[in-house]
C-alpha cells in the first residue's frame, strides 16, 4: 500500500489539476494495481550475486573483443553521497576495461575534491575529471565529457544514478555475440533512499527495438550505449533540445546504427528524489516540448510526413501520419446469419469520415430468412432480377440459389456480396473475399465488430502506407468497456494471447502500453488493415488454419518478410465476441484445434523457444498484463 506523505499529497493535487478528475482516477487505479509478484524481493532474487560477478570477471578477460567502454557523466552540484555511490557502482563493474569521464560544471570545487580523494583512496586511474569553466547546460556539458572519451563505445550515466555491477560485462558480451550492433540499451528500475536502505521499484522491462514505441515515448532512456563512430556521425548532443537531449540523441543514433541491441536485464538504477524527473515529471515541463521537437526533427530527417502531438501523460507522444492520396479501401466481412449483428457493423462503417471504400460481404451458408432480406436491402436496383428470382422460386428462407450481387450504399460506396459455398474456413473465406477486392488496402473485419472511431480508416491508412509497415491492428473492447484486444504476444498460454483483457477503458496498463502506438508480433484479424500488395506477397491467410491462430501466423509471416506490425490504440471498436467463448467440446473440434496448435508450434518453434522480441523475457507467460515472471 502506498504511504501518504505531505509531498505525495501535494504531488497528487498537481496531477489532479493537470489530468482532470476522470483521467486522474484512471491513472491512480493504474498506480494502485497490486503487483502480482512484488518487485523488491524479485530483484533481490535475480540480481547478479558475487559468484556470478566473479565468473564474469574471468570471462570478460577471455572475450575475443574487449572494447574500452567510456562512461560519460556530466556533474553539477552533485550531492557527495550520490556522487560516491555512483563512483562505487562504476568501480565495482565486473568488466574492467572502462573509462569514466566526469565533466564538472559545479561553480565550487566540492565535486572536484570528492573525485580527487576517491581516486587517491582507490588508486584509480580509469577516472578522468575535467572542470568546466562555466555551466553550458546538460548537452554541452555532456559533449565535453564525450570529448574526453577514448573508448570504442560510449555509455551515458547521470551523476546521481547507479549502474548494476554486471552492466558493462553484459554490454561487452552482446558486442561479442552480435558484431553488427552499434547501439545497445538495457532495462532499468528506480531506486529511492529509505530508512531500510536503498529500495528498488518501478522496473521498466522493455521490448527489443520498436520504432513505433520510440516514436511514442523515449522508452530506451537508460542504460544507453553507442559506438563512438556512430555518436560522432550523429554529432553529439544538441543544446536546443535540452531537457530531451537524450531522446534527440537516441533518435539520431538509432537512425544511423546498422542494428540496435537490447539487454533484457536491469542494468541501470535511476535515482528518485523530490527534485528528479523520475519522481516529478511536472518539474521539467519544458522537456516535453523539447521531446516533441526532437520527434518532429526525426520525422523530417527520415522523410516521414506526419504530425506530432503530446499526450496527457508527460513524455508521451502521438504521431498521426499524413495520407498519401485517397486510395480505395476494401472491407472484407465474412458472415453467416446474424442480420442484426451485421447491420450494426455496416452502420458503424457508414458513420466513417473516410468515404472511398467498398464493402465485401462473404456469405457463408446462411439459413436465416432475415439475413437474405437484409442482403436484399443492401443490393441496388440493378440486382432486382436476382431478388425476383429468389422470391419466385420460394428459396429465400434457406438462401438456395443466392449468388450474391453488387449494390450501392446511400453515400455512393459499393457493397458486394459474394458467396462461399464450402464449409467454414476463416482463412479461405477471407482469401476468397480478397480476390474480389479492388482496393489498395484491405480491412479484415469480423461481423460482430462496431467501429467507434469515426476517422478509423484514415488513421489505419496513414500507418499502412508507411513502407516499413505490413499490418495495422486496433484497440478492441468488450461491450462492458473492458479491453478485449490491445496487441498479441507470442508464447503466452503456450501459443499466443491478446494483451490487457479486462482492463477498463480509460486505464492504460504497464507504462501506458494499452494507449500507445507500438509494435507487436501480431494483432487480431477481427479488425486488421493490410495493403493488397503485402496480402498478395504473403499469399493471404494460411488455409491450413481454418479457425484459430491464422491471424498470428499471418502477422509472423509479415514480420519474417521484413514488415512491422503496428498496434494503433487510436482506432477503437467494440468487439461483441463473448468473454467466455464456446468450448472446443466435440471430438472434431478438439482434433482440429490440436492440429492447429501443432502447426503453429512447428512453423514458429524459434520464436516460441527464444521469446517474443516485442515482450520481455522477465514477464510471465501465464498472464496477459506484463506481470513479472516469478
Question: For 272-291, how does the pLDDT look when each residue is reduced to its tens digit (9 = 90+)?
Answer: 875 555 555 555 678 999 99
Four-CA torsion 169, 617, 469, 171, nearest 10 degrees: 0
Q: What is the pLDDT of residues 495-524, one digit of tens each?
A: 999 999 999 999 999 999 999 999 999 999
Residue 135 grid coordinates = 555551466
15: confidence class by pLDDT, cuts 50, 70, 90: low
pTM of the model as a whole: 0.91
254 half-sphere exposure, CB direction, 13 A CA radius: 27
> pLDDT over 70 for what percent of the chain?
88
Q: Determine the pLDDT at residue 152.
A: 98
C-alpha 332/C-alpha 499 separation (Å) is 25
Burial class of residue 525 (count of CB atoms within 10 Å of its CB; 0-12, 13-18, 19+):
buried
22: confidence class by pLDDT, cuts 50, 70, 90: low
Would the pLDDT of 98 be above 50?
yes
User: Across the chain, what does the average pLDDT equal?
Assistant: 91
Which contacts qualify for 276-285: CB closer than 8 Å, 24 or more apart?
A: 276/160, 278/190, 279/192, 280/11, 281/314, 281/315, 282/11, 282/14, 282/15, 282/18, 282/314, 284/243, 285/314
Report the SS3 class of residue 277: coil
Q: What is the pLDDT of residues 354-370, one digit of tens each?
A: 999 999 999 999 999 99
CB 327 within 8 A of CB 461: yes
- Average pLDDT over every residue of 136-161: 96
577: confidence class by pLDDT, cuts 50, 70, 90: confident
> pLDDT over 90 for what percent of the chain?
83
Amino acid at each position: 500500500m502506498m504511504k501518504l506523505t505531505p509531498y505525495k499529497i501535494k504531488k497528487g493535487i498537481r496531477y489532479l489539476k493537470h489530468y482532470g478528475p476522470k483521467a486522474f482516477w484512471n491513472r491512480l487505479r493504474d498506480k494502485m494495481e497490486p503487483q502480482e509478484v512484488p518487485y523488491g524481493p524479485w530483484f533481490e532474487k535475480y540480481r547478479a550475486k558475487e559468484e556470478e560477478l566473479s565468473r564474469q570477471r574471468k570471462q570478460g578477460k577471455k572475450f575475443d573483443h574487449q572494447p574500452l567502454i567510456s562512461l560519460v557523466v556530466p556533474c553539477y552540484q552533485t550531492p557527495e553521497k550520490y556522487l560516491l555511490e555512483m563512483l562505487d557502482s562504476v568501480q565495482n563493474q565486473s568488466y574492467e576495461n572502462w573509462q569514466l569521464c566526469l565533466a564538472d560544471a559545479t561553480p565550487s570545487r566540492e565535486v572536484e575534491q570528492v573525485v580527487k580523494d576517491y581516486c587517491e583512496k582507490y588508486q584509480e586511474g580509469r577516472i578522468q575529471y575535467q572542470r568546466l569553466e562555466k555551466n553550458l547546460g546538460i548537452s554541452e556539458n555532456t559533449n565535453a565529457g564525450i570529448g574526453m572519451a577514448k573508448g570504442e563505445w560510449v555509455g551515458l550515466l547521470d551523476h546521481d544514478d547507479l549502474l548494476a555491477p554486471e552492466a558493462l560485462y553484459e554490454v561487452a558480451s552482446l558486442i561479442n555475440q552480435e558484431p553488427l550492433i552499434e547501439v545497445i540499451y538495457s532495462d532499468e528500475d528506480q531506486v529511492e533512499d529509505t530508512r531500510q536502505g536503498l529500495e528498488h521499484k518501478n522496473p521498466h522491462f522493455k521490448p527489443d527495438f520498436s520504432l513505433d514505441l520510440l516514436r511514442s515515448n523515449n522508452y530506451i532512456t537508460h542504460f544507453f550505449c553507442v559506438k563512438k563512430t556512430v555518436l560522432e556521425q550523429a554529432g553529439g548532443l544538441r543544446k536546443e533540445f535540452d531537457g530531451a537531449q537524450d531522446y534527440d540523441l537516441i533518435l539520431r543514433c538509432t537512425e544511423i546504427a546498422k542494428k540496435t541491441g537490447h539487454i533484457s536485464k536491469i542494468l541501470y538504477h535511476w535515482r528518485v528524489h523530490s527534485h528528479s524527473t523520475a519522481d516529478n515529471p511536472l518539474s521539467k515541463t519544458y522537456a516535453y516540448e523539447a521531446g516533441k521537437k526532437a520527434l518532429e526533427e526525426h520525422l523530417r530527417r527520415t522523410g516521414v510526413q506526419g504530425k506530432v502531438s503530446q499526450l496527457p501523460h508527460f513524455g508521451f507522444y502521438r504521431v498521426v501520419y499524413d495520407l498519401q492520396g485517397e486510395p480505395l479501401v476494401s472491407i472484407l466481412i465474412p458472415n453467416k446469419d446474424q442480420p442484426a449483428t451485421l447491420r450494426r457493423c455496416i452502420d458503424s462503417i457508414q458513420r466513417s469520415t473516410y468515404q472511398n471504400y467498398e464493402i465485401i460481404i462473404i456469405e457463408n451458408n446462411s439459413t436465416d430468412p432475415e439475413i437474405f432480406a437484409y442482403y436484399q436491402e443492401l443490393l441496388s436496383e440493378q440486382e432486382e432480377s436476382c431478388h425476383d428470382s429468389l422470391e419466385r422460386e420460394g428459396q429465400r428462407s434457406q438462401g438456395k440459389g443466392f449468388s450474391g450481387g453488387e449494390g450501392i450504399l446511400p453515400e455512393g460506396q459499393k457493397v458486394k456480396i459474394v458467396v462461399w459455398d464450402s464449409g467454414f474456413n476463416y482463412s479461405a473465406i477471407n482469401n476468397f473475399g480478397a480476390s474480389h477486392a479492388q482496393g489498395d488496402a484491405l480491412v479484415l473485419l469480423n461481423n460482430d465488430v462496431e467501429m467507434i472511431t469515426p476517422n478509423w480508416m484514415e488513421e489505419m491508412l496513414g500507418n499502412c502506407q508507411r513502407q516499413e509497415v505490413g499490418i495495422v491492428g486496433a484497440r478492441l473492447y468488450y461491450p462492458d468497456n473492458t479491453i478485449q484486444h490491445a496487441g498479441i504476444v507470442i508464447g503466452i498460454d503456450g501459443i499466443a494471447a491478446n494483451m490487457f483483457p479486462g482492463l477498463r477503458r480509460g486505464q492504460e496498463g504497464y507504462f501506458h502500453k494499452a494507449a500507445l502506438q507500438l509494435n507487436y508480433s501480431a494483432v487480431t484479424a477481427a479488425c486488421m488493415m493490410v495493403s493488397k500488395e503485402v496480402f498478395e506477397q504473403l499469399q493471404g491467410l494460411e488455409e491450413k488454419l481454418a479457425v484459430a491462430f491464422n491471424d498470428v501466423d499471418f502477422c509472423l509471416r509479415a514480420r519474417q518478410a521484413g514488415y512491422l506490425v503496428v498496434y494503433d490504440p487510436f482506432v477503437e471498436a467494440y468487439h461483441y465476441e463473448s468473454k467466455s467463448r464456446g468450448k472446443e467440446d466435440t471430438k472434431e473440434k478438439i482434433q482440429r484445434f490440436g492440429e492447429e496448435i501443432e502447426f503453429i508450434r512447428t512453423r514458429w518453434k524459434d520464436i516460441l523457444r527464444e521469446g517474443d522480441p516485442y515482450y520481455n523475457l522477465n514477464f510471465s507467460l501465464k498472464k496477459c498484463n506484463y506481470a513479472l515472471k516469478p
